[in-house]
Amino acid sequence: MAPTIATPITDSADIANFVISKGNGVKGLSEMGLECLPQRFIQPLEERISFSNIMPQESIPIIDMSNWNDPKVAESICDAAETWGFFQIINHGVSIEALENVKDATHLFFGLPAEDKKKFLKENSPSRNVRFGTSFSPKAEKALEWKDYLSLFYVSEDEASASWPSVCKDQVLEYMKSSEVVIKRLLEVLMKRLNVNEIDEMKESLLMGSKRINLNYYPICPNPELTVGVGRHSDVSTLTILLQDEIGGLYVRGKNDSWIHVPPISGSLVINVGDALQIMSNGRYKSIEHRVLANGSQNRISVPIFVNPKPYEIIGPFPEMLTGGEKAAYRQVLYSDYVKHFFGKAHDGKNTVEFAKI
């Protein structure tokens, strides 16, 4: 019998069908052993990172949380959130086992056959809180990004147990639970500097009323220099807690046009300020643009927990920010409108926050 030769998919419509609709993702493309990147993924020159803009000598702060009661630790956290918007924490109290388990679970999920992952595409998913996808916003993007993801919106333990994929739900829930303490500590410390001395029920709903966790998979890319893993964006969360593996590739915007690498540190978590916190702090804490490069030789994963306001909350600068006569820089917006605005367009750096600017 004549051997079957896989026909290369080169046509743009075939690519979209194979990657997006059939549930193969970019992982499916990567595993076909393509020699060159399909046109659909080629980013315009200005969206590709130029190595001359990378500042190898710069780094975001690394904060040791072992003595978290020490006022110096609180000061470092607030300083980092004000000046960098990004920092790494070590000795944070989340067990290494929980971190390793969730990374393993991410590989397990993406290792499933396309037929199984396809069940979680938006149009097939048993729950609107579970969504498997590729790129960021394929309908709105001229060039697709080289990333697949599983996005899980947390409603309750029971809902998650019933609808999240069984290969990863226990590990993800455990990771979310074990990170609760550090999330609360970080927010308490950040609020104190804003003269918000207590996180009451109302503030809790605004700051951390909802959580979304994404499992990101960046497969080996045939021409990493022509595309991106994730384009320039800031998160729309209050805070993001990001677990990355040992591969690297996350870059944070530095001064002017520069980019700073966030080196993987075993056992650490990357923390970044999101747009919701920038708005509620009236610009005191800043969400910072970041992006992920594609990799030509290794598969990479990351697991961000987005800590957000409840979707129906109206967010705007806290009254505590305006008592001294400071003018509000942002209007009051329904948080779910803000998020829909973000998801309705391609990544465009820090532009999302303009939606709320006065």
Ligand X SMILES: O=C(O)CCC(=O)C(=O)O
Ligand Y SMILES: COc1cc(/C=C/C(=O)SCCNC(=O)CCNC(=O)[C@H](O)C(C)(C)COP(=O)(O)OP(=O)(O)OC[C@H]2O[C@@H](n3cnc4c(N)ncnc43)[C@H](O)[C@@H]2OP(=O)(O)O)ccc1O
Site for Fe ion, rule CB under 5 A? 235
Residues 229-288 within binding reach of ligand X (CB under 6 A): 230, 235, 242, 244, 250
Choice from 151, 171, 210, 214 touching ligand X (CB under 6 A): 214
Nearer to ligand Y among residue 9 and residue 309 (C-beta): 309
169 makes contact with ligand X (CB under 6 A):
no
* Least CB distance to ligand Y at residue 4 (A): 35
- Which residues make up the interface to ligand Y (CB under 6 A)? 122, 128, 131, 133, 136-137, 139, 149, 151, 153, 210, 212, 230, 233, 235-237, 274, 306, 308, 311, 336, 339-340, 343
- CA 190 to CA 79: how far, in whole Å? 9
Provide the strand spans (E) within the chain. 62-64, 86-90, 130-134, 148-154, 210-218, 230-233, 239-244, 250-253, 259-261, 269-273, 290-292, 300-308, 314-315, 333-334
- CA 190 to CA 80: how far, in whole Å? 10
88 makes contact with ligand X (CB under 6 A):
no
Map residue 214 onto helix, strand or coil.
strand
* Least CB distance to ligand X at residue 192 (A): 27
- CA 52 to CA 215: how far, in whole Å? 31
DSSP code string of 27-57: HHHHHTT-SS--GGGPPPGGGSPPGGGB-TT
- Write b or e for each residue in 5-14: b if 16 or more Cβ atoms lie within 10 A of its Cβ, otherwise e: eeeebeeeee
134 makes contact with ligand X (CB under 6 A):
no
Residues 281-320 within binding reach of ligand X (CB under 6 A): 290, 292, 302, 304
In the chain, the amino acid numbered 290 is: H
Residue 250's binding partner out of ligand X, ligand Y, Fe ion, none, with CB under 5 to 8 Å set by partner kind: ligand X
Residue 210's binding partner out of ligand X, Fe ion, ligand Y, none, with CB under 5 to 8 Å set by partner kind: ligand Y
In the chain, the amino acid numbered 183 is: I
Give residues in contact with ligand X (CB under 6 A): 214, 216, 230, 235, 242, 244, 250, 290, 292, 302, 304
